[in-house]
Structure 1
Amino acid sequence: MQAGLGALYGVLAFAGSIAAGAIALNAFGLETGLGTSAVWLLVLRGIVAMALWSVIGVGLGTLVRNQVAAIVIVLAFTQFLEPVLRFAALLNSTTAGIGTFLPGAASDGLVGASFLSFGGLGGDSAPGMLEPWQGGLVLLAYALAAVVGGYFTSWRKDVT
């Protein structure tokens, strides 16, 4: 159910952003790229990523019973700790591959785009980015781990 709601939010978010982007690009006479299958495949993979992230959120919300704490943990990890870890992993060839298995990096692999590709950090694409199917499987593994962990944690708390 949560994956379906996450996918619905993904569809709505992409619809709004595509509409706004198309209007802005057309205003400057630029091509939108909406006629290419590559753009629509990226949108589809983005919707799948949003569905998986919603499942991760439900699992983490079950693991961490305090809503404020759960939100702070997720924001601190995804917006601060993981980007720092991913950047630090790039500094050494031995650790460069480890960063690709973090949740945000797996999501980047699934979608096929990364923030590391901007600003020259990764050239045209992020170094060592997972293939879309690999990123999807890694993100699915995080979702399953969060849900299963939350199930057993809440089940034990509810029984005792």
Structure 2
Amino acid sequence: MSLTAATRSETTKQFSTAMWWILALVLAVYVGFTAAVLGYVFAAAATGSLGGEAPPLPEDGLAGTLYSTATAVGYVFPLLIGTLMVTAEFRHKTLTPTFLATPRRGRVLWAKLLVGVLLGVLYGVVGIAASVGASAGFLLANDLDAELTSPEIWAQFGRMLLAYVLWVLIGIGVGALVRNQVGAIVGVLVFTQFLEPVGRAAAAFVDGLAEYTRYLPGAASDALAGASVFSMGVPADSSSTLEWWAGGAVLLGYAVVLVVLGHLLSWRRDVS
């Protein structure tokens, strides 16, 4: 079977189940709710109407920071769908007939990567639309600039789409390396929702630790996006933050290493 046919088969396989749109729906709700809450608070703080002793927020860059919610908190969803693309096949034993139809296993993996790019773009559009739709209204309601015509904002959207694509590819690498679906999903959630956030939070209090935590995948993703709700207090020229291109290179490096390791250590083993 050619790569084109394998990719067509993989596309049908992924979009014939409900998992992709269920995760996309949850992504939209989760990102939209988070962006709406932050949009209300940040817009009120920027205009001084929040009340209490809350410090005022600068208006410059506020829109981009709110829109970055799509990648700052939503990146786990493309990571999960990429992982499920592979582990679901191991769990349900559908990979056996796939390999019988396409004996060249590398071609099957390439097909998954190509479909992963498509899913990454799709999830990126959903996440960005949810963050912009939920937060731009609060900016406009408070007479703040939503910057929707700014070239810088649209460049940020492009980088965020790239981040989503890379997260799906990382998920495919994780799924190829860790065959057990439960183990892979638990590992993804523990790392993204506990280990890395704790490490990045600790970097604010431990001297020199930020030099290492900035190379973590979540931090690299934030750097690629160029903005993050988790780094509002970090100066733009801080050495604890990578340049956007360096963040993209680090994230791509994670994807390449995981996919290659998955192919070498697990993908070529027996599946039954």
| Residue of 105, 117, 129 corresponding to 1:3 | 117
The counterpart of 1:51, out of the listed 162, 165, 168, is 165
Counterpart in the other structure of 2:175: 61
2 CA distance for matches of 1:77 and 1:141?
Answer: 18
* Structure 2 CA distance for aligned equivalents of residues 35 and 108 of structure 1: 22
Partners of 1:29 and 1:88 lie apart in 2 by 36
When the two chains are superposed, the root-mean-square deviation of aligned CA atoms in Å is: 2.3
Give unpaired runs (5+ residues) of structure 2: 1-113
For normalisation by structure 1, the TM-score amounts to: 0.85
Larger Rg: 2
Which of 132, 135, 141 aligns to 2:244? It is 132
Q: Look up the SS of the partner of 2:269 in the other structure.
A: helix
| 1:130 aligned counterpart, secondary structure | coil
Q: Alignment length, in residue pairs?
A: 158
Gaps of 5+ in 1: none
Residue 81 of structure 1: aligned partner: 195
Paired position in structure 2 for 1:94: 208
Q: CA deviation at 1:127?
A: 5.5
Match for residue 26 of structure 1?
140
Q: Does 1:39 align with 2:153?
A: yes
Aligned-partner Cα distance in 1 for 2:215–2:188:
17
The percentage of counterpart residues that share the same residue type is 49
The aligned amino acid for 2:257 is A
Q: Which stretch shows the higher mean deviation, 14-23 or 141-150? A: 14-23
Q: Do the aligned residues in 2 keep the contact of 1:117 with 1:126 (CA within 8 Å)?
A: no
Q: Which residue of 2 aligns with 1:154?
A: 266
8 Å contact 2:159–2:224 — kept in the other structure? yes
Which residue type is aligned with residue 262 of structure 2?
G
2:224 corresponds to 1:107: no
- 1:55 Cα deviation from its structure 2 partner: 0.3
